Amino acid sequence: MIRIEGVTALVTGGNRGIGRAFVEELLAQGAARVYAAARNPGDIAPGPGVVPVRLDVTDPAQVREAAAACPDVSLLINNAGLFAGERLVKAEDPDAARAEMEVNYFGVLAMTREFAPVLAANKGGAIANVLSVAGMVPAPFMGGYSPSKAAALWLSTITRAELEPQGTAVTALIVGSVDTRMASHVDGEKEDPRDVARAGLKAVARGEHVADTDWMAVDARARMSRDPAAYERQLAKLLHVSNLRTGR
């Protein structure tokens, strides 16, 4: 368990969407300092307690530089993500799935490896991996994104086991549909990013292993548990509806 008040945190993808909401919510809850990381630090909204950091999670050199520049981090929030909007098998861009895996899985792994010693030096701390309901249930209409988030979910479990001796907690946050640019393709109600960040920090503070941050995440997991085959067919229908809209 970790106290949010007084914590020093680093948030990847901290320039917009859920990442920016985490930065804002951390400060609202009394964080001492928040390193907001983005490929272009100029995109980071300035403010008291915010330290912009140049970081592309797919660049090993920049990941190492971030770990060296932020030695006081005790909460790492792996939020940076990529949704390419492509199919998996019938993809127009065959490299899209690889790009999604690089950011959503290997980026999380790289950050975790580099910051594990930093967290150990700061009494263990915690890691929060911002994942997706698409990593908990297979989403055919989300191409390579769904498998990449599933991989990051298992990474979270394995990380928790490996880092347990140094006292590092790991929380996998299962996020549904949120009102961000990444979810612009999704119809229906969407959650406020600040509400998701608030729920996520509450789960981290409690030391939860896996936590749903919103109603859609809870509902999707419940439907999958009740009737996996029926839910799979429903998700496949969404894929075909999407195909009709795009002509693909």
Higher pLDDT, 222 or 25: 25
The tokens for 233 are 């067919």
- Give CA–CA dist 95/183, Å, rounded: 21
pTM: 0.90
Q: Residue 244 above 50 pLDDT?
A: no
For the stretch 177-235, pLDDT in tens is: 765 555 555 555 767 899 999 999 999 999 999 999 998 888 888 888 898 888 888 88
**Distance between CA 18 and CA 98 in Å, rounded?**
23
Domain residue spans of the chain:
8-246
Q: How confident is the prediction for the chain on average, in pLDDT?
A: 91
The domain covering 8-246 belongs, at the CATH homologous superfamily level, to NAD(P)-binding Rossmann-like Domain (3.40.50.720)
Within 10 A of 18 (CB to CB), how many other CB atoms are there? 29
Please give the pLDDT value at position 188.
55
Residue 185 confidence (pLDDT): 53
Of the CA atoms within 13 Å of residue 126, those in its CB half-sphere come to: 27
Which residue has tokens 């999704």?
A: 186
- Dump pLDDT digits (tens) for 63-116: 999 999 999 999 999 999 999 989 999 999 999 999 999 999 999 999 999 999
pLDDT given for residue 186 in this prediction: 57
Q: Report pLDDT digits (tens) over 124-181.
A: 999 999 999 989 888 888 889 999 999 999 999 999 999 999 999 999 999 987 655 5
CB atoms within 10 A of CB 114: 17
